[in-house]
Structure 1
């Protein structure tokens, strides 16, 4: 014995080899018959390599004790010590499975099943397992033989000879052999029943999918038929007796335990339905009554026992129904709802430990893969595998799932299944809960190769893989494209030329021949890119057709695809990321402006995603962020021209973002119908374009100053936005109305300052007018004092002197929209302080001033309305148009702005709301004016989006007019309704204007 307080060398070695209770292990090894184990460092090291060295040693001791006679004892010890393959297999099983150690202790000779280590032994199939079960003639001997076969599977598994997928396939093959053996026992017990019927056993679930667990219910369906000349009802009763007996043989507990439950609840009508049905009865049920989940379950159906020919007939008869299931109404939503229901039914206490059913568990992978299979497998037979990992591989090869996503899912699924196997292998009990005990976690972690800190490493890896699964499940399982593909009519998911031509004609494509050429160019070939396009295009064709010009949408899609053909993220974005594909379809078929912007920078497609990826989504960016980006780009540029080119690039991208947001918000998507507040969309566009132009001017100003003077201009300089620019109400093609103001710095001569300021204005205008493919930004300074005759830029003092002596009422009105947009902030603020008394006069307006404003308005209407234009449809100058509403609101501001703070705003709608709040205008009349102003603005925006150039009236071209109608929410054939509604809205607004502006 070792003296108290001292540790023996054996104790130390055991501790070093990973034993958690070296004292107990040392006591076991003190037995004389275990001296060879105690004294063999190789064997101790081999014990230390197992998942649980203490468990392995305990099992080895029990196995040695169970050997009858010295010869058997010596044979086992000699073999374990001398034969490394057997040593690793035996000790690996003993260290991972207390249940199999118990089996070996009861059946002490079964360790010989682990001796063979030939190549043919590495991956046995059904035939090998049938030979291993051949001598079983009753339930007890079948259990013993089953466990003996299970020993070899577990040994290969824990030693790494097979991976988790191969082990799961072997377990399914062993289950198949066991079902056959059990059926043979049942037949032998009732030969008259065996002769009276044909009985096929169809494996379902994991057994059918060749991916069984160590301990799992084996799901089956039974198909019975009468033998030639036999009575069908008698045959079904005989088949039912055979099936029931077979189930009992596998399921019942004996002195050798049980094998596993055979579960037939996936059959038609579940527990309430007959255990055995004829093939025709099965077919009738699935044709008339089956629910969505039942077709999903049939994905894994595989004949395994009994009459294999009948089983194959069953699978062949039902397979067409499986691949039509996705065409059922609400199919995708039903599958998604079923998955959510599974999660909701997990007890709260188990939710975080559920390896199979919980969020991020095995079911998340399986449901996502099966849903993708059922939707896309109608047209692609390569996806019709019952095995999860094989189906996932096929989905990746076909382009339905990104390769990186598929690789991550494969890796995570293998890890989670390995955890599940190791958990079940320990006691051979059916469980999917991760244990909480550290000893259990340590054993599982070590069995998976996590040796430095098994418990912490296992928890970390498990949570990491579960997080990956959950993220990709949400991405794939709830992918909007899935529902759209599922809704295609039979055959539409294929892009054969005949089917495509028929569909193109039906969808309203004006030139189906040209459209077919585009489809051929996009989707032909065997490349991954073509495969993904074949997935996308059938759905995109429908989305393009939901516009006034589907041909243009398809042509534009081809152009974008050609431009981004070698960009790896493009098609992946459309396939995977939220509503990106539908957003792109809406944008490309809504007119010319957005596609033209996109063609100049196709990478902006990234903006159409969910907003958490490359592009940041369609939410317009704040002015501060835009200005920061543009100023940074200007700072990197060499020279003014390059700087403005960089600023224009940002502006182009952001104009596309705004146009896309406007179109998507107006058209809506299948996932999110267009229910947006029309006024909110107007405000979005006006604010975004105004902010973008302000940031562009700030960048241009910085570029001019830097190139001409370095860091500091001799004079302070500010740009004041006017008109719609100052009012945050710019349209896509609006000019930027501005005033320029400067103030000499201390010690700078006024003439030098004026010269510098004029040079800045001249250079800014020159740079912004350099010919470019980008949308122009035209500066208009005609609202300055003295108009075109006056100086382009003035000092603050000069403005003060002019406004004090010469200002006219129209200039006070124009200043209502003045707001600093770029340059020196303090100077801009002081300019506003200077003009506030003019635009919000304390005494209000005299009668002469009111008459002058009315006269100017009438003159503008008569002189500026284009010849031949229909006044009732002119959005700017026509009755009830923009001018009517704005001049009415501005008259209220001039009269009452000094006393009503809410009126002191440059925004038309805000001022109108403030006037109503102050009871200066009835709420109903304010709403009438607001509705007309919003509608007129929307029409102008629509015209620019559709035609690619600005216009104040509805287009005359029928297709363009229909596109404007679609943008405004009017479907096919409702152009007349749109025009009638516009006239009605404008007429009502004109009535309010006549009363408020013209005094009745």
Structure 2
């Protein structure tokens, strides 16, 4: 090969930063050996040193170290000059660690370990070598001389050189990072054993003590860093019968203190690791050493949740291994019960958040270990999953993070893809941490902010993109770890599974979401949050909910909207608090729990009612409890409740509360198919009448001299076929009076009642619509009987006569309403039937209503009231038949649609087939209006466009999940047939 150029430009191209100093080092080597060909040839030789230096993390540092090593001990480099692989190991160590570079210059003989091919040395072999180095011998090693501590420190550095060479020369350092960490833990075991030997030699009475040393943390997990605290716990037992436990602990405490001092001290020979015993019982404030019995008492009675998490890593390490293992066996059962302890999850999560919050703001984004998305997030996620699931599954009870992560993946607690991502991120971050620490052998977890140091790191990790690639990779892994940590560590699944059956503890968060999705939940993540909320805590209510949830999830899934059902269950349970009857009913009455699940997953209306009056859930205990109550009974309850309150506002609130409960009864009965459509209509109409009667009584407190009123029910209320969203169409009549102020007071009473029952917050309103009274909105709110008679005899128009077809007693004085109804019979059952001109008026009015009231932009075919074949078509057709024939057929004199339709058929005025088409359409449209209100929580005549809402409505009507289109098709087919009948009967010549 031609002579290599050694100009500053050539050195810069090869990765040297301080090229002037590098050139001086090269020239010194050339001059020292006086080799032909200059510095380039001297460094090329058989090995090609310059090429090897170019491949190191810090070529400047490596060249400088080689020059000094050659200057101090030139014989050391001789064997390397003919061994390219060994030279490569020497080069990467000299360029990868400033601290080991300096160590080899100071102790050249230690470079000899690099002549051998890198391999993992068994822990027992390392231990034997270390003990031999300090001159220990026998079963109880004794230090040979006062320099044993320095010999221990030098042995540590010699082994670090060997381990670092294996790490730095690896083609894929991330792949072996766990193996490197395990060998470092083996070295720590040996060093602690050596320090114990030295300490025991310096403490009188040591022969009377069996001191066991338990490794904790990273050392216990055998995943130690190059520089890290070695967390330990000391346990002591007497070595003979003549030594008391207290005496043994006293002697052991002196030994442990001396051991810690040896490991932590610095000298010219360097240092070892800091031994940290703060994970012992009571931490820094607790005794340094305890006996096994003392340990057992502590962990049985006083240990906190975090201490059991720490004990997950406990491992017999050094000293008397039987004593150390005895401690491990004491704490292990507690470790696998920790997840069931009170506040365990919350405290564990809070501890992690506290660590992050305490990080200095200028370091948080560079904190590899403690920062968000860093090593600790992976470790805590794995540990938490182990503690939650490992109590029932010993397959996931490992100590090391990566091995345990694999176990969790293999056992399906974490998905394979997520596990692989977390494994790769953790390996990269641990390797990054190792390289940062190795460079100066300083305990740090911060990504450097110095450009040169970042460059060295990137070169050591063979990143061609340099510092930019390194930072991008760090940010990407941090971001991914943060996301995975949030999903795993804060997953509600963890809180839920700690309370579920063992067989159900084998799900990852993803699998739980998948299972919920299969059940029909559209938002499994939200469902898991609700499960966590329902199963968090240790009280009886939570325990019962915990037992019921698996079954209730299935029941929710059978309803139209499982997501809403689970959310509603949570809301209702929170509203009910610790009610003992509720707990017993949920636990002991399976039918009630199933019914609750079904109505909660079906209806926003029932949820709103339950949240306002959660005690009404007890109605679900039986069919009979869901049957509509008699009007008289409801009114009696309302009046009794109102009498218990002196204030008017409180009295009417009590009336409204009973109405809420009765609305829940009727709605729940409809959902659970206990109550049919006809019975529901009568029940709602009776409830409206009772409510208005009670409100009249309460309102008289503020209008004491108001005359008696009769409330005439019109529309669906009059026909006793109200729907869940129906208004109360009404008009008001009073007796004739000579009191000129009577009408004013009567009107004041009506206004008071209407305002009392109008919407108040989330409370369902009872709207009293008086627009069908004489003269409509322009007429007086209340008229006397004589005033009504005068008006209807002289000025009544066709639409008013039609409205009176559905008039009946609504509330108030029955005698007054009966008198009025008798008075208007000639109008609604006219002799001679319906004149042609009046039929034309009715047709024009209907056409105008459909044109004006069908919302623009909506499909008329989806309008259950005004659309073709809808309720208006059917009811107006029947009413026309009543106006035409009721004078001759008394059976037609009814305010109810379906009885009137049957009477028309029986009288031979309507074909039975046509009547069937009309009735089927009327029933389906009425049911749809009710179900729309139940699902959406608000009234609407229009079938929703939203597919989920239509699917929920269809499910409530008996269709299978996903058959919403079948419902729409059935409705359009039914209304199309109905419209054909209406065309003939109402619009055609038959009318």
Instruction: Report the TM range for the smaller structure's normalisation.
Output: 0.5 to 0.7
Matched, 1:122 2:111: no
What secondary structure does 1:303 align onto? strand
Aligned partners of 1:122, 1:211: CA distance in 2, in Å? Answer: 14
Aligned partners of 1:430, 1:883: CA distance in 2, in Å? Answer: 71
Matched, 1:819 2:866: no
Aligned partners of 2:167, 2:447: CA distance in 1, in Å? Answer: 20
Residue 589 of structure 1 is aligned with which of 529, 536, 555?
555
Q: Is the 8 A contact 1:215 1:429 kept in 2?
A: yes
Shift in alpha-carbon separation, 1:203–1:325, aligned structure 2, 3 A:
same
Matched, 1:493 2:502: yes
Matched, 1:151 2:151: no
Q: 1:571: Cα distance to partner?
A: 14
Partner of residue 444, structure 1: 457
Shift in alpha-carbon separation, 1:19–1:265, aligned structure 2, 3 A:
same
Residue 303 of structure 1 is aligned with which of 297, 312, 316?
316
Shift in alpha-carbon separation, 1:886–1:380, aligned structure 2, 3 A:
closer
Shift in alpha-carbon separation, 1:146–1:357, aligned structure 2, 3 A:
same
Q: 1:591: Cα distance to partner?
A: 6.7
Residue 227 of structure 1 is aligned with which of 239, 244, 251?
239
Partner of residue 105, structure 2: 105
What secondary structure does 1:819 align onto? coil
Matches within 5 A, 1:130-209: 130-136=128-134, 137=143, 138-160=148-170, 163-190=176-203, 192-209=204-221
Q: Is the 8 A contact 1:659 1:945 kept in 2?
A: no
Residue 53 of structure 2 is aligned with which of 47, 50, 70?
47
Q: 1:256: Cα distance to partner?
A: 2.1
Q: 1:88: Cα distance to partner?
A: 1.4
Shift in alpha-carbon separation, 1:77–1:663, aligned structure 2, 3 A:
farther
Matches within 5 A, 1:671-820: 807=843, 809=845, 817-820=853-856
What secondary structure does 2:235 align onto? strand
Q: 1:189: Cα distance to partner?
A: 1.9
Shift in alpha-carbon separation, 1:217–1:369, aligned structure 2, 3 A:
same
Partner of residue 358, structure 2: 345
Q: Is the 8 A contact 2:932 2:953 kept in 1?
A: no
Partner of residue 333, structure 2: 320
What secondary structure does 2:502 align onto? coil
Q: 1:589: Cα distance to partner?
A: 1.1
Residue 239 of structure 1 is aligned with which of 245, 252, 264?
252
Deviation readout 1:802-847 (Å, 9 max, x if unpaired): 999654556655666512456899xx9xx99xxxxxxxxxxxxxxx
Aligned partners of 2:845, 2:205: CA distance in 1, in Å? Answer: 108
Matched, 1:56 2:62: yes
Partner of residue 444, structure 2: 431
Shift in alpha-carbon separation, 1:472–1:536, aligned structure 2, 3 A:
closer
Aligned partners of 2:433, 2:559: CA distance in 1, in Å? Answer: 55
Q: 1:472: Cα distance to partner?
A: 0.3
Shift in alpha-carbon separation, 1:126–1:806, aligned structure 2, 3 A:
same
Matches within 5 A, 1:83-98: 83-98=83-98
Matched, 1:33 2:32: yes
Q: 1:38: Cα distance to partner?
A: 3.2
What secondary structure does 1:360 align onto? coil
Partner of residue 825, structure 2: none
Deviation readout 1:269-303 (Å, 9 max, x if unpaired): 00110000111111111111111110000000001
Partner of residue 272, structure 1: 285
Shift in alpha-carbon separation, 1:592–1:815, aligned structure 2, 3 A:
farther
Q: Is the 8 A contact 2:18 2:60 kept in 1?
A: yes
Matched, 1:461 2:461: no
Matched, 1:65 2:65: no
- Uncovered stretches (5+) of structure 1, i.e. residues with no partner: 1-6, 68-72, 496-522, 524-530, 541-556, 565-569, 599-604, 611-657, 669-673, 686-722, 725-730, 733-785, 787-800, 833-847, 849-854, 867-875, 888-905, 912-938, 951-1000
Aligned partners of 1:865, 1:266: CA distance in 2, in Å? Answer: 86
What secondary structure does 2:329 align onto? helix
Aligned partners of 1:818, 1:907: CA distance in 2, in Å? Answer: 21
What secondary structure does 2:287 align onto? coil
Aligned partners of 2:507, 2:553: CA distance in 1, in Å? Answer: 20
Q: 1:233: Cα distance to partner?
A: 1.2
Q: 1:195: Cα distance to partner?
A: 1.1
Matched, 1:859 2:872: no
Shift in alpha-carbon separation, 1:297–1:204, aligned structure 2, 3 A:
same
Aligned partners of 1:244, 1:216: CA distance in 2, in Å? Answer: 19
- How many residue pairs get aligned? The number is 616
Aligned partners of 2:487, 2:386: CA distance in 1, in Å? Answer: 15
Q: Which has the larger radius of gyration?
A: 2
Partner of residue 777, structure 1: none
Matches within 5 A, 1:963-974: none
Aligned partners of 2:405, 2:275: CA distance in 1, in Å? Answer: 28
Partner of residue 435, structure 2: 422
Q: Is the 8 A contact 1:360 1:470 kept in 2?
A: yes
Aligned partners of 1:354, 1:405: CA distance in 2, in Å? Answer: 23
Partner of residue 405, structure 1: 418
Q: Is the 8 A contact 1:129 1:149 kept in 2?
A: no
Q: Is the 8 A contact 1:224 1:277 kept in 2?
A: yes
Matched, 1:288 2:301: yes
Q: Is the 8 A contact 2:396 2:404 kept in 1?
A: yes
Q: 1:948: Cα distance to partner?
A: 2.6
Aligned partners of 2:170, 2:839: CA distance in 1, in Å? Answer: 90
Q: Is the 8 A contact 2:560 2:953 kept in 1?
A: no
Q: 1:467: Cα distance to partner?
A: 0.6
Deviation readout 1:382-408 (Å, 9 max, x if unpaired): 101110000000000000000000000
Q: Is the 8 A contact 1:591 1:947 kept in 2?
A: no
What secondary structure does 1:198 align onto? strand
Aligned partners of 1:534, 1:459: CA distance in 2, in Å? Answer: 30
Partner of residue 728, structure 1: none
Deviation readout 1:76-108 (Å, 9 max, x if unpaired): 333222112221111111111111111112112
Q: Is the 8 A contact 1:591 1:945 kept in 2?
A: no
Matches within 5 A, 1:326-405: 326-405=339-418
Aligned partners of 1:30, 1:574: CA distance in 2, in Å? Answer: 67
Matched, 1:248 2:246: no
Matches within 5 A, 1:854-893: 858-860=895-897, 863=900
Q: Is the 8 A contact 1:475 1:578 kept in 2?
A: no
Q: 1:29: Cα distance to partner?
A: 0.8
Q: Is the 8 A contact 1:171 1:214 kept in 2?
A: yes
Q: 1:592: Cα distance to partner?
A: 4.2
Aligned partners of 1:571, 1:131: CA distance in 2, in Å? Answer: 62
Q: 1:560: Cα distance to partner?
A: 5.1
Q: Is the 8 A contact 1:132 1:149 kept in 2?
A: no
Q: Is the 8 A contact 1:130 1:178 kept in 2?
A: no
Shift in alpha-carbon separation, 1:535–1:327, aligned structure 2, 3 A:
farther
User: Could you tell which deviates more after superposition, 40-49 or 130-139?
Assistant: 130-139
Shift in alpha-carbon separation, 1:323–1:803, aligned structure 2, 3 A:
farther
Aligned partners of 1:169, 1:178: CA distance in 2, in Å? Answer: 14
Q: 1:579: Cα distance to partner?
A: 6.6
